C-alpha cells in the first residue's frame, strides 16, 4: 500500500516540475499593439553609453554584463534565460522587447514603475541591439 502512494507522489512531483518547465519556455505572446511600436530614438552611437548605464542599473543583475543571463541574481532564478545577443531575441521588434521590459512575466519583473521614463526604456532597447553577435 505504501509503494503506490509514494509512486503517486513522485509522479505528481515530476508532472509538476515538467509543467513548470514547459510554461517557462513557452513563447511570450506580445499584443500586436506593442509589436508594431516604433522606437522614437534613432539608434545613434551618442545614445549607446546612456543605454548601457541604464542596462547596468536595471538589467545586468539578472541578464549579466553581455546579456547572457549570467548575472548575480540569475543563479537564484528558475526561469531559463535566453541570451539577449541570440537571433531569437535580436529578431524581435523593438516594440516586442519594449512590452517585455514594461510588463514582465514570471520571474522577469515589471519595469513599468521602476523605469517610468519611456525614453529610458527605448535607450535600453537600443543598447540591447548592440549586444547582437
Q: How confident is the model at residue 5 (pLDDT cuts 50, 70, 90)?
A: low
Q: Structure pTM?
A: 0.78
Exposed / middle / buried, residue 124 (Cβ in 10 Å: 0-12, 13-18, 19+): buried
Separation of alpha carbons 60 and 62, rounded Å = 5
Q: Tell me what the pLDDT averaged over the chain comes to.
A: 85
The per-residue pLDDT for range 78-91, each reduced to its tens digit, is 988 889 999 999 99
Q: Domain 28-129 has what CATH class?
A: mainly alpha
Residues ≥6 apart with Cβ < 8 Å to 60: 71
Q: How confident is the model at residue 22 (pLDDT cuts 50, 70, 90)?
A: very low
**Cell 548601457, residue?**
52
Please, are residues 36 and 93 in contact by the beta-carbon 8 Å criterion?
yes
Separation of alpha carbons 84 and 17, rounded Å = 26
Helix (H, G, I), strand (E, B) or coil at 67: coil
Amino acid at each position: 500500500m505504501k509503494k503506490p502512494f509514494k509512486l503517486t507522489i513522485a509522479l505528481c512531483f515530476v508532472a509538476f516540475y515538467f509543467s513548470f518547465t514547459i510554461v517557462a519556455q513557452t513563447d511570450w505572446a506580445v499584443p500586436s499593439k506593442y509589436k508594431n511600436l516604433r522606437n522614437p530614438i534613432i539608434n545613434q552611437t551618442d545614445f549607446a553609453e546612456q543605454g548601457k548605464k541604464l542596462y547596468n542599473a536595471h538589467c545586468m543583475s539578472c541578464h549579466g554584463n553581455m546579456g547572457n543571463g549570467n548575472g548575480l541574481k540569475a543563479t537564484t532564478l528558475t526561469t531559463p534565460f535566453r541570451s539577449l545577443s541570440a537571433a531569437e531575441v535580436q529578431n524581435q521588434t523593438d516594440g516586442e522587447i519594449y512590452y517585455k521590459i514594461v510588463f514582465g512575466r514570471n520571474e522577469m519583473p515589471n519595469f513599468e514603475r521602476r523605469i517610468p521614463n519611456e525614453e529610458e526604456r527605448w535607450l535600453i532597447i537600443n543598447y540591447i541591439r548592440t549586444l547582437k553577435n
